[in-house]
Structure 1
């Protein structure tokens, strides 16, 4: 079975990404901070016929991410798809007029630092195999900035830039990288903003392996 690893797995979008790929015949590795919550998600997926395992790691501690990914490959085999979509609600967003290095650096460390650790761990094996997929998910402010998310948008835009750069560099090597920017209140009431709909759009990026980027827009209200 092919294997997808979801970094930042939770009961919303992460669970639906697992389901979307599980329907496509993937086994699932779930990565987030709390093992008990991961075990609960894995049990839910198992009840739906999807093989899933949880591996605890803290995105703000890159060494734990690297260790979790190595444990996944040792236990379950090569990672065919890596999906990166963590969030940390404890990191406070600030208005664009209030951005300082002090409130920007934690955002950069979390999003860019976390992605560099996670993607950097799996890419060598993907390149050596001449295949693999990396899907990087951010808020839509990485593409169309929102003033009230001034510091978050800078970090997300940097992550988006890196993803697009990787897409161009790795396409000739058989490795597909794509960025999904979500401008939507996920689960906020708009039918196109439901997590299962967005997860399916992400899975279709992998299926088609063409687009470097999808800006997914579903305005509520």
Structure 2
């Protein structure tokens, strides 16, 4: 049975992605810090096996251990979806900074979360994917990772832009291996009333990304309830 691991699983998009992939028969591994929140998500998913693996994404040893435990309990991870969202307490400790005020110290926590966290997660599951000749890696961020420039949150923007670069480099570097990697940028207030911002609508794009396996760079906005894909502007070099 195939498994999707959702790193940074939350009650909106994470729940919706888990539900969408479970509907196709994939078992689900949920990874985030709050066990109670993960248990609540798991309770609403039926018909497949669901595992809860609490871990702090910025604790790379704990994150890799959680993914290893998921594979041991559920089986090989076929899909890795990475979409961490800082909690209010995180932002209080590492607040947004304007571009002119961004320092190494203000940038570091966001690099730890978005870039180092994604690299650690990918490196845990990628060798198995390559050995099996199949797998999907979907790395998620907000719109400032690709199309939007918002200097008031420059430290976050820099970190998620690095995440996007990592995803695009993975996409190119994994050509021919059977493993597909893509970046997903979401320009929507998820679950805040617009039809296109509904979590289940956005989750459908993740299923399409997994099954189509052609897009390197997906930009989703909720203006007309349809995604705008950027991969026609980005072509991975042939190998």
Task: Tell whether the structures are fold-level matches, with TM greater than 0.5.
Answer: yes
Q: 1:142 to 1:206 in 2, by over 3 A?
A: same
State whether residues 51 and 74 of structure 2, in contact with CA within 8 Å, keep that contact through their aligned partners in structure 1. Answer: no
Which residue is equivalent to 2:199?
195
Quick check: 1:102 aligned with 2:100?
no
Q: Residue in 2 aligned with 1:71?
A: 69
Shift of the alpha carbon at 1:219? Answer: 4.8
Q: Is the 8 A contact 1:3 1:79 kept in 2?
A: yes
* CA distance in structure 2 between the aligned counterparts of 1:7 and 1:177, rounded to whole angstroms: 15
Cα distance between partner residues in 2 of 1:218 and 1:39: 29
Are residue 29 (structure 1) and residue 29 (structure 2) matched?
yes
Q: Could you tell me the TM-score, scaled by structure 2's length? A: 0.88
Shift of 1:25: 1.3
The 2-side partners of 1:38 and 1:190 are apart by 26
Match of 1:55 in 2: 53
Query: Unaligned 5+ residue runs, structure 2?
Result: 225-239
1:120 paired with 2:123, answer yes
Q: What is the CA RMSD across the aligned residues, in angstroms? A: 1.3
Query: Do the aligned residues in 2 keep the contact of 1:9 with 1:32 (CA within 8 Å)?
Result: yes
Q: How does 1:157-172 map to 2 (within 5 A)?
A: 157-172=161-176
Report deviation, 1:171: 2.1
SS in 2 for 1:80: strand
SS at the partner of 2:57?
coil
Per-residue CA deviations over 1:149-178 (Å, capped at 9, x if unaligned) read 211010000010010000011121110001
Separation of aligned partners in 2, 1:196 and 1:99: 35
Decide whether the 8 Å contact of 2:49 with 2:74 is kept in 1. no
TM-score by length of 1: 0.95
- Farther-moved stretch of structure 1 (107-116 vs 94-103): 94-103
Does the 8 Å contact 1:19/1:50 carry over to 2? no
Gapped runs of 5+ residues in structure 1? Answer: none
Cα separation, 1, equivalents of 2:66 and 2:99: 35
Distance 2:2 2:168 in 1: 24
8 Å contact from structure 2 (residues 35, 53) kept in 1: yes
